[in-house]
Structure 1
Amino acid sequence: MNSIEPAELAALGATAAIVDVRQPDEYAAAHVSGAQLIPLGELPARLDELPADRTLYVICHSGGRSAQATAFLEAQGIDAVNVIGGILGWHGAGLPIEQGAE
Structure 2
Amino acid sequence: MTPHPYQDIPPSQLDTLGPEVRRIDVRELDEYTGPLGHLPGAELVPLGTLEAASASWPREQPLLLICRSGNRSAKAAQTLARGGFQHLYNLAGGMLAVREPLTPQG
The interval holding the TM-score normalised by the smaller chain is 0.7 to 0.9
Alignment TM-score, normalising by the size of structure 1: 0.80
State percent identity of aligned pairs: 38
Cα distance in structure 1, aligned partners of 2:23 and 2:94: 11
Which has the greater radius of gyration? Answer: 2
Q: Distance in 2 between matches of 1:20 and 1:49?
A: 17
Following superposition of structure 1 onto structure 2, how do residues 1-102 of structure 1 map, counting pairs within 5 Å? Answer: 1=4, 2-12=7-17, 14-29=19-34, 30-48=37-55, 50=57, 52-78=59-85, 79-92=87-100
Instruction: Write 1 or 2 for the structure with the bigger share of helix.
Output: 1
Gaps of 5+ in 2: none
Equivalences, count:
94
Deviates more, 1:12-21 or 1:60-69: 12-21
Structure 1 residues 19, 93: closer, same or farther in 2, change over 3 A? farther
Equivalent-residue separation in structure 1 for 2:101 and 2:63 (angstroms): 21
- The alpha carbon displacement at 1:52 in A equals 4.1
TM-score by length of 2: 0.78
Please give the root-mean-square deviation of Cα atoms over the aligned residues, in Å. Answer: 1.8
Show structure 1 runs of 5+ residues with no match.
95-102
Moved over 6 A (4+): none
